Structure 1
Amino acid sequence: METYDNLKQGEKGAWVSIAAYILLSAFKISMGYITGSEALTADGVNNTTDIVVSLAVLIGLRISRKPPDRDHPYGHMRAETIASLVASFIMFAAGIQVIIQAARSFMEGDLQPPGLLAAWIALFSAVCMWFVYMYNSRLARRINNKSLMAAALDNRSDAFVSIGAAAGIFGARLGLPVLDSIAALLVGVVICKTAWDIFSDASHALTDGFDDEKLKVFQDTVRNTPGVKGIRDIRARVHGSNILLDVVVEVSAELSVEQSHFISDEIERRMHSKHKVDNVHVHIEPYTEAERQVERQDE
């Protein structure tokens, strides 16, 4: 129940991002055309793609809140990941469009310095996005939601992009109008890089990939649990914002079922307290004297 309450709280962060991006993108694109700033226009286009990302996060959170059913016994948590994957394609297309537009400006050769107002608008946007980033990152850490944290990091990158756009505009006003187009080009590259990062993380999770270093940390926690003699197998996969862990442990063959069950409960408790992993499936196997002898021979 706590997981679904956290998902509902995460929707607040998505709505904050959507509202900020709608206002800023409309303002920056219109002012970019008025002031003649390629960088500010590109920054505004970047924010329109971020609307899609925030909507994807919102939709994913909404679907993820649906309880398990006959077709989805593990729940609908992966909807977050699928939504992020779709958003990455849209972001990449927008980034390519910005790069093409910046390249056209170079080819046309008739570059005019943009109005100084564009730079101040970009800086104002950077400040706004930094406050949105602070809000979403704190909320994501409090509810332990990875998709919202990804959106928060996107908010932070947008603040940096706006600062870069402002720097390009100021440079153009100092007598190098080409810097405005260069800033627009860099914005397009940042959009494509962000899209690739989101695509890589989402595709890795959807194919049941998992961080090997994090799995080793989980393995150490299980191995150090009192009563565990050995680990035969351990596997983990990402399911939305949750982690599903399957582990086969060996315990003394002389233990009763109740004692073995206590060890299993202790593993689950430690995984929750140390790593916030709630979905742990523990299978118990007997650890016999014959296995001890085999281990001594291997040594």
Structure 2
Amino acid sequence: MLGALGVWVGWPAADPVSGIVIAVAILLVLSTAGREVFRRLLDGVEPQLVETVADALRTTPGVRGVRRVRMRWSGHQLRGEADIEVDPALTALQAQGVAHAAEQHAVSHTRRLTELTVHTSPAGGP
């Protein structure tokens, strides 16, 4: 429409120029959408979601540190694994309780996170 108007007022290049502008706009939208789809195909998760889970774990009582958080998409749900540090003096049962609390805290604070396996390690250990 804009190209036809330009030709009508005497600018013969208006039609091809408007076509190029529309093509560039389509390519920009396609490249953005393509990156997101490609990331999802490779089970990639946005870094801010991983940081949200790490922050939730850090604020759980009994967690002394977060070593690693890994997540992936499974359909429209997130699943993940986390390695946390706990007091080395805790018994295995107590460490399991901290891990369970950390899992529940992270799941309740992260949208679409449905499952998080939490491993515990003594703080300061390898």
Q: Which of the numbers 110, 115, 123 marks the counterpart of 1:279?
A: 115
1:215 maps to which residue? Answer: 50
Going from structure 1 to structure 2, the CA distance change for 1:262 and 1:179 (only over 3 Å counts) comes to farther
Task: Provide the TM-score with structure 2 as the length reference.
Answer: 0.72
Distance in 2 separating the partners of 1:176 and 1:170: 9
Bigger RCO (CA 8 Å, 6+ sep)? 2
SS at match of 1:246: strand
Report the residue type matching 1:278 in the other structure. T
1:270 maps to which residue? Answer: 105
Deviation at 1:217, TM superposition (A): 3.2
Q: How does 1:1-299 map to 2 (within 5 A)?
A: 119=1, 167-276=2-111, 277-287=113-123, 291=124
Report the residue type matching 1:286 in the other structure. P
SS at match of 1:227: coil
Report the residue type matching 2:121 in the other structure. E
Does structure 2 retain, via aligned residues, the 8 Å contact 1:237–1:243? yes
The answer to which structure has the higher helix fraction is 1
Distance in 2 separating the partners of 1:270 and 1:172: 63
Report the residue type matching 1:252 in the other structure. D
Unaligned runs of 5+ in 2: none
Report the residue type matching 2:114 in the other structure. D
Does structure 1 retain, via aligned residues, the 8 Å contact 2:52–2:110? no
SS at match of 2:63: coil
Distance in 2 separating the partners of 1:267 and 1:232: 13
Distance in 2 separating the partners of 1:242 and 1:281: 14
SS at match of 1:182: helix
Does structure 2 retain, via aligned residues, the 8 Å contact 1:268–1:278? no
The answer to which structure has the higher strand fraction is 2
Does structure 2 retain, via aligned residues, the 8 Å contact 1:271–1:278? no
1:35 maps to which residue? Answer: none
Deviation at 1:207, TM superposition (A): 3.2
- Alpha-carbon displacement from aligned partner over 1:142-197 (angstroms, at most 9, x marks no partner): xxxxxxxxxxxxxxxxxxxxxxxxx4454444443532332222222223333322
- Alpha-carbon displacement from aligned partner over 1:215-235 (angstroms, at most 9, x marks no partner): 233222211111101222221
Going from structure 1 to structure 2, the CA distance change for 1:169 and 1:254 (only over 3 Å counts) comes to farther
- Alpha-carbon displacement from aligned partner over 1:99-131 (angstroms, at most 9, x marks no partner): xxxxxxxxxxxxxxxxxxxx5xxxxxxxxxxxx
Return 272-281 or 261-270, whichever deviates more: 261-270
Distance in 2 separating the partners of 1:231 and 1:254: 18
Distance in 2 separating the partners of 1:278 and 1:170: 55
Report the residue type matching 2:118 in the other structure. V
CA RMSD of aligned residues (A): 2.9
1:93 maps to which residue? Answer: none
